[in-house]
Amino acid sequence: MKSAAPGAAHARWKPAQLLVVALFAAGQALLWLAYYGNGAKRLIGDEQNYQDVALAILGGGAWMPSTIWPPLQSLFLAAIYAIAGVHVLAVQLVQTLLIVGCAIVLRAIWRRVGGVRAANIAAGLFLLNPSNAAYAQWLWPEAPHLFLVLIAFWLVLERPESRAASFGAGASVAFALLAKSLLAGFWPVFLIAFLRPTRPRFRTGSAAMFLLGIALVTAPALWHGWREVGKPMIADSSLYNAWIGLTDRWRSDYIEDQGGVTLPEFLASGTTPQQRNAVYAEKIEALLDERGIATVVADQLGRQYFRLFSAKTPLLSQLPGPACAGHLSAYASPPWLTVTLTGASDVFHAATLVGFAFGVACWRRRPDRALWLIGAYLAYQLALFGILHVKARFLFPMMPFLCAFAGSFFAAWPVRDSGFARDPLAFTRPRLIAGSLLAVLLIVLAFAGPLLDPSCAR
């Protein structure tokens, strides 16, 4: 039997790679047409704040003027504007590269966990979903934050023995904290990556370099917080977001949204973060006393995860549609384009959630430190958004690993018979039943919110 020619395996992937590139290019064309085709999309919510602060920085203003918003995104915008001029397009091009970079790093992470085919599918699912790719065009910090998080995962999992890589991972985590505060309670869990099966059991030197990277990068912001408010902090809006999360009513975004309405009240409640947090801690305590913890927990479970997993992503929320259903019509896209983007987004969203459900339920390989770390990250995000104010865009930090497990499932598909195993998955009847139940739950959370909340029928 003849052996395969060198590079033959590589050539087999070429058509698939070309297809992904073509589909990505087509998706990008549709997104750019939607954003600029009938006049540029207007900035919404925190986008305008990041833009205003970036312009103020260029004019000589403070680099960290707020205790609510972390500083990195405005500094990132200001740096791009200083080089390319004040053009949102320049930011969009840079962030498009970051989104592509996220897919590349996700592939590098998952090929060691689930294999090359699964990693390729995971990267494709992530990159071709228009609701993911659209984050490159907005001024929210989601794209830089996610890229930094994935770089940190890749460095600690790929080179835990390297002190230079560990320092880079710590610096990446620190910059991610300066972009969004979501990792504030999670970053110590990255130390799992420095455990090893042989003695000594812990890579002390690498862990120390990881912590040093975090300390050096966050030091200026922490020192600024100490000088300004007497507390070493980057940004703190946790109790504000908890209050909004506990008082949210609807199961999808932008219906009678209370975030922008409540923020001025929060800022006026005290002159320092400590004073504001004290006021809102009392409000939360009073709410819990009034409604009872059991009722509050039931309300949160019946609302928060509909918002988190909603198929009405930030892209779809900004497309033209009825305001009563939470459509902002920030885009002026024609009906055919709105329908196309909505349909493509819904298909990829459903495929990712269903694939993730079966990928998790059918996983049979014993978890290693990579899976423990990824699992802890997903669990942390789910726990966090059981309480805090949830926007659909907060699923984005979880999306790469949802795509990863989905990639493993689709790589092993089709299932030939019950009990069939394809490493690392096993398609036994109990696992398939569990996967089916989880898939149904996630699809209900994704699509049933508007049916349960007929906001336009009032």
What pLDDT, in 10s, does the model give residues 77-124?
Answer: 999 999 999 999 999 999 999 999 999 999 999 999 999 999 999 999
Q: Which residues pair with 426 in a beta bridge?
A: 421
Average pLDDT over residues 239-262: 88
Helix axis angle for 46-58 and 72-84, nearest 10°, is 60
Q: Which pTM does this prediction carry?
A: 0.93
**Which residue from 141, 108, 152, 153 is spatially nearest to 126, judged by alpha carbons?**
108
pLDDT greater than 70 at residue 1: no
pLDDT band with cut points at 50, 70 and 90 for residue 14: confident
Which among 219, 250, 245 has a CA at the least distance from the CA of 233?
219
Average of pLDDT values for 187-205? 88
- Predicted pLDDT at 143: 98
Q: State the amino acid at position 131 in one-letter form.
A: S
Q: Find, among 143, 444, 436, the residue nearest to 309 by Cα.
A: 444
pLDDT at 414: 73
Give Cα 267 distance to the centre of its chain. 27
**427 phi/psi in degrees, rounded to 5:** -95, 65
Structure tokens at 379: 């669990």
How much is the pLDDT for 4? 47
Handedness of CA 421, 357, 315, 260 (dihedral sign): negative
Name the residue among 123, 212, 128 with its Cα closest to residue 165.
212
Give the pLDDT of residue 283.
93
- How much is the pLDDT for 420? 64
Average pLDDT over residues 152-169: 96
- pLDDT reading at 300 higher than 80: yes
Q: Structure tokens of 411? A: 């790589």
- Say if residue 332's pLDDT is above 80: yes
Q: What is the arithmetic mean of pLDDT over 330-356?
A: 97
Pull the structure tokens for residue 251. Answer: 């199961």
Q: What is the mean pLDDT of the chain?
A: 92
pLDDT > 70: percent of the chain? 95
Report the distance separating Cα 33 and Cα 127, nearest Å.
Answer: 18
**Alpha-carbon gap, residue 412 to 340, rounded angstroms:** 29
pLDDT digits (tens, 9 = 90+) for 349-395: 999 999 999 999 999 988 889 999 999 999 999 999 999 999 999 99
Q: Is the pLDDT of residue 217 over 70?
A: yes
Where exactly are the structural domains of the chain?
A: 41-457
Residue 417 sits at φ, ψ, to 5 deg, of -165, 160
pLDDT of residue 8: 46
- For residue 414, whether the previous peptide bond is cis, meaning omega lies within 30 degrees of 0, is yes
* pLDDT at residue 10 tops 60: no
